[in-house]
Each structure stands twice: as structure tokens, then as C-alpha cells.
Chain A
Amino acid sequence: MQIIIVGGGNVGATLAERLSQEKHNISVIDTRNEVLSRICDNVDVMGIVGNGASYAVQKEAGIEEADLLIAVTNSDELNMLCCLIARKAGGCQTIARVRNPVYSREISFIKEELGLSMVINPEDEAAMEIARVLKFPSALEIDTFAKGRVELVKYQIEGASALCGQSLKAISAKMKCDVLVSTVERGEEVFIPDGNFVLREKDEISIMGSTKNIVLFFKKLEVPTTRANNVFIVGGGETAYYLSKHLLSIGVDVKIVEKNKQRCNELCELLPEAMIICGDGTDRDLLLEEGLPQAESFVALTNFDEENILLSLFARSISKAKLITRIHRIAFDEIIEELNLGSVVYPKYITAESIIKYVRGMQNSIGSNIETLYQLHNDRVEALEFIVRQKSPVVDIPLQELHLKPNLLLCCINHRGQIITPGGQSRLKVGDTVVIVTTVKGLDDISDILKD
């Protein structure tokens, strides 16, 4: 497909990279020449210098033949204008990033009137991801499928855990709970394990199952499953706002440290129930005074990645809080992982995931079959949820008779709201949704799980 991306920042660059890996033709528009030349050096895309809202620039980028325009500049207004002009000039589909809560509240009106195909709000989506983890702090990451009925929980095995040194077969026999270990990350490697796979200390495993069964599984493991009661947030940006709003509504105590006085006042007006502290979040004494050692969870949301990492390291040393660190910009994922910061949230990946999901859906002639898409373990594994439609060659055949691609695991079938962990005799029915975990990239239909 021909895709135009306006804005070559973090998200724009990540999108250009991921989408060009999926063999699309990408043009990137940005006003900054040096930003473009860096992207063009590393990724096979065409760069165009100019204002993305200008018709002439869009025309140069090939708006007339384009299938999709994605506007991810820093300014919400510019993004919407780009999409509006693209819609009129080329009639292509458009995706805009809109972050300001003022617009988010009326987003369905804006979407309708401007003819946007999709609006993404990375701040909000990051906040939702953080909120999910805070509801179940033992997890590193939680992704949901089947409209929230199925969860994929990433968990690091501790030394004393009953899982250590056990094969997956033995575990499922012992625990008697309907969950599935779908991926194991050990050091640099990622495995899609079979029954004989033996788990070790420090492995990061992803467990899939219905919400109820997952809670049961962790209870049997004697891992705490209750949510955090209070949260200590440093940095009062939009993500902090969305997160606090959500947490306050479920009764979690929220404390936000923010430097800017004016922003503090704004937050105070928007979130009357939250405790807003005006002060420098990197001030050690302030953090101690405000009770960081007693916090149950700590979320670093300042605008500087380095500050966030340091703050989390500090919080780890003086408290038992569940740590969540947001990383916007820096690209040393492996090193950050080695620091054992607990959960790390990358808004740029969240945005890229949802757009890639949309793009793969667009490619599909029958209409989108992808319900959900997550990229796990530094983008090496994909978890996808497909709808099974009529005519698919996988329907009504026992799974053991299907020739599946290697490194691909059918984790879960949602049959009319009933969650089934599939076995060899299970069959897929029309209307089911299926969750698949795989290292094979670029699946866009359920029939792609079969060997070519």
C-alpha cells in the first residue's frame, strides 16, 4: 500500500520502520531536513521536506495514489488539518494522533465531521496499559483479548517460585488450571514452548487464559493478586491525567508530583480528588517527605526518559512499590530491560501497534479480520486475535489435522463468549475469535496460520 506519514518524530520514525518492514511504500513528510535524512538513511522510505498540511507537499508525496495518511506531528490541530486536506485531495483513509483531552472528549464528533478513519491517543492508551498493570501489580505487562475476557500476562519467575525447574506438562498437571504458557523469554532468546519445555528462574513468561483462571493460577502460585491501593506519580502530563482519572474512578489514591505551578492548578481543577504536589520530582527530600517509601506503586511519567529511569531505580531502592517507567524516546531497549525496572511502557510502540493493526486490516479484501494485535518481547513475537469468517480453510477441521506454520501457537478460542484453551480435537467455528502467538510476522488473516 502507499502510505504517507506526516511527522518524523519518535512515533513517525517507528511507524516508518515497522510499516516498511511490512512491505508498504512509505513517504515521510517533515519540515526538518535532518530528521528526514536520518530516517531515510536507516529505513527504505522517501522523505519530503515541507509542511504536511500543504496541498502541494501532499501532492508531491503522492496523495492522489495514497491509500492512507497518518498524521503524527506534535500538534493535534496540524494533524487534524493534514487529514482533512488529504481526505479532500486524495480521498484516502486518514489516521490522526490527537492527545489533548479537550479534543478527546469530543472525539467522536471530530472523527465524524473530519472523516477520520481512526484517531489515536497514545497518552490515553499508555495510561490504560499502566492502569491494567496496577490492577494486578505482579505482572510486568497485561494485554487483553476477546473484549477483555482473555488476558495475556507477562510475569517474571522468581527464584523461590514453584514453577522453577518444572516442565510445562508437569505444571499444568499440578496446577489444574486452564491457562497456557505462550512465550518464554530467556536472556536474548524468545521461545514458543511445547509441553516438555522446562522453566527456569528469571524467565519472563507470558500466560494466557480467561481473567478468572489467571487469577486462580497466581493464587495457587501464592503470588499476590490484589491491586495497588495507592499510586505515586511523578510528572503531571496528559498521561498522568488520563491515568489518574481512571484510577480515581476505581478508588485508588493518587498523588501527583509536578514542577509547573500552572499545570498543578490545571490538574487540581481537573482532578479534584487527587493530591497534587507542586515540586521537583527529582528532589530526593521531596520524594521522601511525600512518603515514597510507603507507596504501593510508583509511576515515572516525566518528559525525560533518563529522569524516569533514575527515579524508578531510586524508588526501587527505598520502597517495595510496583514500578512503572515510561520511555518515550531512547532506543536502548535491551539495556533498560537489564535494569530490571519492572514494567516499562513505550507509548511509541503502543501507537505503532494500533496503527499496524489497522493497516493489516485495510489490506484484507474482505474487511478486517484482526481484532487485536500486540507486539511482545521487543517486537519479536506477535499476539493476534482473528475473527474466523466463512469460507476460511481452517473451519471445522480438528486442530491436529491442520498443518500450521512452525513457531506458531493457537492459544485460545472464544466461542460465543466461552473461553476454550484448544486441544488437538478442538475445531474452529465460523464466528469464533482465535488468539495466536507467533514469531512469524505479517499475518493478516486466519488462513495465514497454515503452511504455504
Chain B
Amino acid sequence: MNFSIIRYILCRVLEFAALFMALPCVVGLIYKEKSAFSFMGVIAGCLLVGLIGKRYKPKSRVFYAKEGFVTVSLSWIILSLVGACPFYFSGEFPSYMDALFETVSGFTTTGGTILTDVEGLSRCIQLWRCFTHWIGGMGVLVLILAILPLSGSHNMHLMRAESSGPSVTKLVPKVRNTAKILYGIYIALTMINMIILMIAGMAPYDAVTLSFSTMGTGGFGLLNSSVGSYSVPIQRILMVFMLLGGVNFQLYYLLLIRRAKDVFHNEELRVYLGIILVASLLIAWNIKDLFGNGGESIHHAMFQVISIITTTGYSTLDYSNWPEFSKSILFLLTLLGACAGGTGGGFKVSRLIVMVRSAKNEISAAIHPRSVRRIHMNGQVVSESIIKSIWVYVMIYVLLFLGSFVLLSLNGFDFVTNITAVATTINNVGPGFGMVGPAGNYAEFSVFSKLVLMFNMLAGRLELLPVLVLFSPRTWKG
């Protein structure tokens, strides 16, 4: 293990953390809030450690897959630990553990909160909550790769460890340019979202904050009612941008280079949109009696479906009193998640497609034992190693799920609360059912349970492997 380069990259991560916090700090100063000073202190600390650490260049530039995994997981942990400091020093959070939970929930774009009253927060703290979603959505190391000429040729390992989906591909030959393109698209979409929200009548501060949260498919809002108090047009705008955030960003690049045909033929996108459509219609039909007209039920059904499948977690109303059928569908969508390569979390539609096809092949093999079959996706054969990695992923996913579920039940809460809390954190969604439903929060959980849930959120965002590699003793045995 090459510790010197890991240390070096972590110091650069601290510098970036300071850079990120400058935004809420400036906003706090503009609104003359005293929480701005807690940001200032943390920024100074980060810069000090980062700049000193940067002076000692790494001894060796050796960088392999395991260094990539360890660097990415450690970066996220350090980012969360540091990011929680302003929350804690501002005095607006009950304890450091709660501040940390909020930060991890932010960076992993989960959006589950321990706060009972969001509206009482100062503006800079609110902005930082939502900004963590935006940073975590595309990933901080991808940003570092785009800006710094880091460790030369091996930075694909970093990109692969942080990006989502079963196989990570580059858009252009260089990792650095790929990262630049991804962030360019991300920033452009966020700006468009802000402008449209402002045109729809939202105040600039609210528009900026909510765009960060929406494009990162996070779920922190500015109001206790999530987005339920906004007008219907604004809710529709948010719907569209959540949907866009959940799409593979590679497709936007294909649109830019005028290969629209490939975008329309992308199977993951088609299945993703198909699932949204079918699920919305089923729920709309199921809840039609709760609303006066069909249009309203379709609006609410669709908003909830998109919010859950993109793992955002906004809600227009408290859907925990919807019929069981609708809740079951929403729970399934919680488990599914959005497209690979987007800002959404979860299991990913592409994995589902491959698994369904692989199951189909097995059935066909039982009928025709000598048939030779490969799995195709987007016109290309999916390699055996990817299929294997997906099944292993499912296996680890289930084990982590069940383990956390058992640990969480120590709290003595009801079954639904426990199981949806685990599902919603591993998949970075936010709201579940029961106590953690759209109107609830995580405040009542014990410190131990919060630790378990934080681990789930990180493991879910980084797609299990990096975090497990970090905590595997073999990694450290040299």
C-alpha cells in the first residue's frame, strides 16, 4: 500500500473541502449570520493541514486498484468528518454525531435528516446542507481529477471507485477531460435549473439551494413540508430535473456530440422511463379516490415515483397514508434506484436489466442445455466478469441489508421503520415509512444505530466495494 500518495491526495481533498465551504461562508457573511464564523474556522483548519501536507510530495507514484478504493473511501470519510464541523460549531445541531449524520446523509445524497425543524436553521447552514448533495452527487474525486493533474496514468482507479454503475467507461481518452466534461454538464444543468426556478417565481437564494439539492438527487429541502408548499409549476420543474439527474451523464455527452440515435436506443434509459411511467400510472389509479380529480393524483403519483426512483426523497405530501399497494411500489423503487453514471444512488436499473436477462438465460439453458447464450445490452455483449460482479454485488448488498436490519432492531422500533430505514439509507433515498416516513426523521435513533446507518449510506453511495476494501484487514496487511 502506497501511503504517501494516499496522504497526498487526502490533503488535496481537504483543500477542496475548504474551497467548498467558502460558498456558505460568503453567503453567511452576506446575510450577517454568526454561523459564518464557524465556517471560517473550519476553512482555516483545512487549508492549514492541506497546504502543509501538500508540501511533502509523495515518495512514490505507484497507484493500483486497492489504493484507488482506499483513497476514495477515506476521502469520503474525511470529507464527512470535516463537513460536519461547521454544523456542530454553529450550535444549531444537538451533538457532533447528529451533525455527522446530517453531513454523511448530505454527501451521499441521501437526504435523511435528524432535524425536526429545518426552517429554523440559518441560511448558510441550509445552503451547506444542500451544497453537500451537489458535491456528493458527481463526486469530489471526479472534481479533483478534473482540476488537478493528479497521479498520472493511474487515476482511472479513482474514477472507477467513485463513479456509480457496474462498469465505468470514459467519454474521451483522458480521465481528466472525461471528468471535466461530466462536471461541465453537471454545472450547466444546475444553472438551467436555477434560472428556470427563478423564472417560476422562486427567490434567488431558494432557487440556488434547491437546485443543488435537486441536481444532486439529494433531498434536503428548505421547508419542513419538503416541497409540498411550493406551487404546482415549481413541483413540476423539480420533477423534470430530478429525472434528469438520475440519467446517465454519458447520454448528455452523446447528445452534445450529436449522437442522439444512441441516446434513444439506450436500453437503460428506456427501461428507466418505462418503469417511471408504469409505476406512476399504477399508483395514480390506486390513489385516485384520495384526490378530487385524476390530474392531481397523476401529479402526486408521478412526483413521488420520480423522487424515489432517482433516490432524491422530496415529497409533495405525506404519502405514508396512501394505500398499501402504492407504498409497496414505492418501496420497490427505493430498492431499485436510478441509472448508472447519474447522480442518483441505489441498485441501478442497468444491474436489474442484466440480472433479469441472466436469469432468463438460465431458464432457457434448463430447457436447451446445449444452447450458447450471451447477455446483450445496448447492442454489446456484457462480459462474464461484469455479470459475476453484479451477482456478487447483490450478495453483499443483501448481507449488508440483513445485518444492518438486525442491528437496527436493537432500538425497539417497529419492523417497517427498521427495514425501510436500512433500505432508504443503503440506496441513498432518504424517506422510508413508519417513523422515518416523509414526515418523520432520524432524530430518535440511538448513536449506535446512526453509526450503522452512516456506514450504509457511505457503502451505498460508493457501491459497497470501496468501503468494504477499506475495512478489510487484508488491505492493510501489505
Contact = CB atoms under 8 A, between A and B. Distances in A.
Interface string A1-22: 0100000000000000100110
Name the interface size band of chain A: 10 to 19
Interface residues of B, number: 15
Contact of B173 (A21, A33, A41, A46): A46
Contact of B153 (A2, A25, A33, A43): A43
Contacts of A40: 156
B156 A25 contact: no
Interface string B166-196: 0000101111110000000000000000000
B357 interface: no
Contacts of A46: 170, 172-173
Interface string A38-77: 0011111110000000000000000000000000000000
Contacts of B201: none
B218 to A, nearest CB: 31
Contact of A25 (B154, B157, B174): B174
B174 A33 contact: no
Interface in A221-237: none
A26 interface: yes
A37 to B, nearest CB: 9
B383 A33 contact: yes
A309 to B, nearest CB: 27
A79 interface: no
Given A25-B177, A33-B383, A20 B153 contact: yes
Contacts of A33: 383
A26 B177 CA distance: 12
A27 B178 CA distance: 13
Contacts of A27: 173
Contacts of B154: 41-42, 44
Nearest to A49: B380
Contacts of A26: 173
Interface string A102-118: 00000000000000000
A44 B172 contact: no
A25 B170 CA distance: 12
B368 to A, nearest CB: 26
Contacts of B152: 44
B155 interface: yes
A248 B177 CA distance: 53
Interface of B is mostly: helix
A2 to B, nearest CB: 8
Most chain-A Cβ atoms within 10 A of its Cβ — which of B172, B173, B176?
Answer: B173
The residue in B65, B152, B174 that gathers the most chain A C-beta atoms within 10 A of its C-beta is: B174
A17 B153 CA distance: 9
B173 A44 contact: yes
A45 B155 CA distance: 11
A17 B152 CA distance: 11
Nearest to A23: B174
Contacts of A21: 153
Interface in A76-95: none
Contacts of B173: 2, 20, 25-27, 44-46
B383 A44 contact: no
Contacts of B383: 33
A111 B235 CA distance: 64
Contacts of A41: 65, 154, 156-157
A213 B153 CA distance: 43
A62 to B, nearest CB: 8
A43 B156 CA distance: 9
A232 to B, nearest CB: 41
A276 B156 CA distance: 51
Given A25-B177, A33-B383, A42 B153 contact: yes
Contacts of A42: 153-154
Contacts of A17: 153
A92 to B, nearest CB: 15
A44 B172 CA distance: 10
B235 to A, nearest CB: 40
A25 B173 CA distance: 5
A21 B154 CA distance: 12
A46 B174 CA distance: 7
A21 B153 CA distance: 8
A116 to B, nearest CB: 23
A52 to B, nearest CB: 16
Contacts of B157: 41
A56 to B, nearest CB: 11
Interface string B56-85: 000000000100000000000000000000
Nearest to B149: A23
B121 to A, nearest CB: 43
Nearest to A40: B156
Nearest to A44: B153
Contacts of B153: 17, 20-21, 42-44
Interface string A227-266: 0000000000000000000000000000000000000000
A291 to B, nearest CB: 48
A69 to B, nearest CB: 14
* Residue among B153, B154, B172, B176 with the highest chain A CB neighbour number at 10 A: B153
9 contacts: A26-B173, A41-B154, A43-B153, A44-B152, A44-B153, A44-B156, A44-B175, A44-B176, A45-B173
Given A44-B153, A44-B173, A46-B172, 9 more contacts: A20-B174, A25-B173, A27-B173, A33-B383, A41-B154, A41-B157, A42-B154, A43-B153, A45-B173
Interface of B: 65, 152-157, 170, 172-177, 383
Q: 4 closest pairs, A vs B, by CB?
A: A25-B173, A46-B173, A44-B153, A43-B153
Interface of A: 2, 17, 20-21, 25-27, 33, 40-46
